Copies of this chain bind each other. A is one copy, B any other.
């Protein structure tokens, strides 16, 4: 439970700070930019991994991987998650439950008949371009463009907002995720 990384956070502060605060025991519950960067990268890797598992080992393996991602990287164990996936609509637009999120990523849930499995589309490359980042204690918000490249080299761009909450173990969890296709002026 001890946030060792946080306790070593004094490293970058220089001699003055080390003389005054740095030699003390420090608990720091705050989110850093490096942690945000890692969490964003991990999301992209996880999305690609689910698709790879689908192609190489089938839907059951892909589903297990998706469950592991939801349990490890999202905040469903802490309550409802504010999740608006890219391709959902109507009364099923928001996926505040783990079941709803799982259906979106891997499909196969008859309660969500429009879900064909976003993570099964064969994404091979992932890039994130942050427009702005807002850090407030153990919560961070990011907004930017995500570029997903599929196996044919076709790039899909989405506008994406994330809200991360740092849990007691020092892990960032997604508690907010709003993804939308770019607006197309007529």
Is B159 a contact of A161 with CB atoms below 8 Å?
no
A155 within 8 Å of B (CB atoms): no
**A-side binding surface: helix, strand, loop or mixed?**
mixed
Is A33 a contact of B7 with CB atoms below 8 Å?
no
What distance in Å separates the Cβ of A113 from its nearest Cβ neighbour in chain B?
11
What distance in Å separates the Cβ of A12 from its nearest Cβ neighbour in chain B?
4
Which one, B2, B17, B24, B29, contacts A34 given CB within 8 A? B17
Which one, B14, B30, B136, contacts A135 given CB within 8 A? B30
Residues of A in contact, count (CB < 8 Å): 79
A137 neighbours in B (Cβ, 8 Å):
29-30, 136-139
Report how far A88 CA is from B83 CA in the complex, Å.
21
A68 neighbours in B (Cβ, 8 Å):
none
Beyond A132-B25, A143-B176, whether A1 also contacts B78 by CB under 8 A is yes
Which one, B13, B88, B185, contacts A33 given CB within 8 A? B13
What distance in Å separates the Cβ of A112 from its nearest Cβ neighbour in chain B?
12
Stretch at the interface among A35-43, A46-54, A58-66: A35-43
